[in-house]
Amino acid sequence: MKPTRLCLSCGNAFVPLPHVPHQRYCSMDACQRARRRDWQNHRLRIDSDYRDNQARAQARWRAGHSGYWREYRDAHPAYRERNSSLQRTRNARRTFKPIAKMDVIGLPRPLGSGFYVMCHADDAGAAKMDAWTVHIAVLSAPAAPRI
């Protein structure tokens, strides 16, 4: 009897393929997609070069397909409505605290490297806003505040 394993995605027992001795996901399409997604999430967490490459590739793609999401939303009203609904929920939860106020209370929080959502300051309180997802890499620590 061949040894079976439990798939990390669906939990079903499967027999590893002979040429993939360390197989951890079964062969179902959904589980193979999960395997690739898990690999990419892991890679994004541990590999800053991969993370930067992905961010650059996505920015390049967006620059070359500027109308893609607008056209997609126009062609898929259910998708658009679901997004609007989820955004309304997020907006209701969100409390905006303008960054300028951090100086007033005297406790500026230094920002680390990572992905940030960036939008025009005039749009920050609006329900609908254009925003970019940007990756910021901190090259030097901020100087200590002079008191």
Which residue's CB is nearer to Zn ion, number 15 or number 121?
15
Question: Which helix (H) or strand (E) is 6 found in, with range?
Answer: strand 5-6
Per CB under 5 A, contacts with Zn ion among 18-37 are 26, 28, 31
- How large is the C-alpha radius of gyration of the chain? 22
* Closest distance of CB 31 from Zn ion, Å: 3
Apex 61 CA angle, 128 and 36, nearest 5: 100
CA distance 131 to 120: 8
Answer positive or negative: Cα dihedral of 42, 45, 46, 48: positive
β-bridge mates for residue 119, sequence order: 131
The 104-143 contact track toward Zn ion, x by CB under 5 A, reads ----------------------------------------
Interface stretch with Zn ion, choices 6-14, 66-74, 78-86, 115-123 (CB under 5 A): 6-14
β-bridge pairing 13-14 and 5-6: antiparallel
Interface stretch with Zn ion, choices 3-11, 77-85, 117-125, 139-147 (CB under 5 A): 3-11
Which residue's CB is nearer to Zn ion, number 10 or number 59?
10
* Closest distance of CB 36 from Zn ion, Å: 13
Structure tokens at 43: 């890679």
Does the footprint of Zn ion cover residue 51 (CB under 5 A)?
no
Does the footprint of Zn ion cover residue 10 (CB under 5 A)?
yes
Footprint of Zn ion (CB under 5 A): 7, 9-10, 26, 28, 31
